[in-house]
Amino acid sequence: MLTGKTVNLGVIGWPIAHSLSPVLQNEAIAKAGIDYVYTALPVKPEDLAAAVKGLRALQFRGFNVTIPHKSTIMPLLDEIDEDARRIGAVNTVVNHDGHLKGYNTDVTGFIGALLANGFNPKGKNAVILGAGGAAHAVVWGLIKAGVTSLTIGVRNPQKAQSLVERFADVMSIRVFHWGDPAFVPFLQQTDLIVNTTPLGMTPNTNATPPVDWSQVKESAFVYDIIYTPALTRFLVDALRHGHSVLNGEAMLIGQGAAALKRWTGIEPDAEAMTKALHSWLTTTH
């Protein structure tokens, strides 16, 4: 029951009706038995500054940030955490008595899911497909986790240069067109392949990044950050070639749980959040 003491949380984006965050967060809140509520808040790009000012004035404890505001919100905040600064995107804001601090919990969700599934990136070679916003969090997460090398395969190498330059002070990252023969040796030696592109996501489930699986060693771990469908064509192809695979579900849950912990100080029930996600996906797809 909502009361005058209920603490407000939310997620801002445009559009926002598709967001799964209210499903996950309110389930975790209910399981924790705390007097919080989490809601989706549609914010047009031209209204972002007013929305941030309003959320501060309304004393929201915090809020998540999704497309298209993850980067544009940064100048409107009082402080930016190192992960968010490095990635160039904020997905979580915490209100500390009127002081708004931006974080990026995608890093926590991405690496936590890898470790929970038995793959430690430390000392490993990694190949990342795609160089968009999601790839920035993946790259920084892998650098923090201690990978030995990072190679990116993309459709347009020129567009990937900003990502390479962002992390040039901590790691030299190679970029290739994913059809370039020079990319093949890096596929052959990689221990981890991560798809950060939307290729294969519902409803375009027949799409997939082009990977010559005959060139990838069977021991390589394959990770697709898409979670609808649960098995993309990319992961199905990997399974057929004997690879261990992981989809983006655990990353989604992990980043949400990390955000809720920052707002409340509690350790959220990730299992309950996972069950809520499965229930939602089952009833809506």
Strand order in the sheet with 245-246: 174-177, 149-154, 125-129, 192-195, 221-224, 245-246
Judged on CB neighbours under 10 Å (0-12, 13-18, 19+), 56 is: middle
**178 touches 206 (CB < 8 A):** no
Where b means 16+ CB within 10 Å and e means fewer, 115-150 reads eeeebebeebbbbbbbbebbbbbbbbbbbebebebb
Closest C-alpha to 178, from 210, 208, 206 = 210
**106 touches 255 (CB < 8 A):** yes
Give the C-alpha separation, 215 to 188, whole Å: 5
Q: Write down the catalytic residue from 53, 70, 124, 159.
A: 70
> For this structure, is 5 an active site residue?
no
Question: Annotated catalytic sites, by residue?
Answer: 70
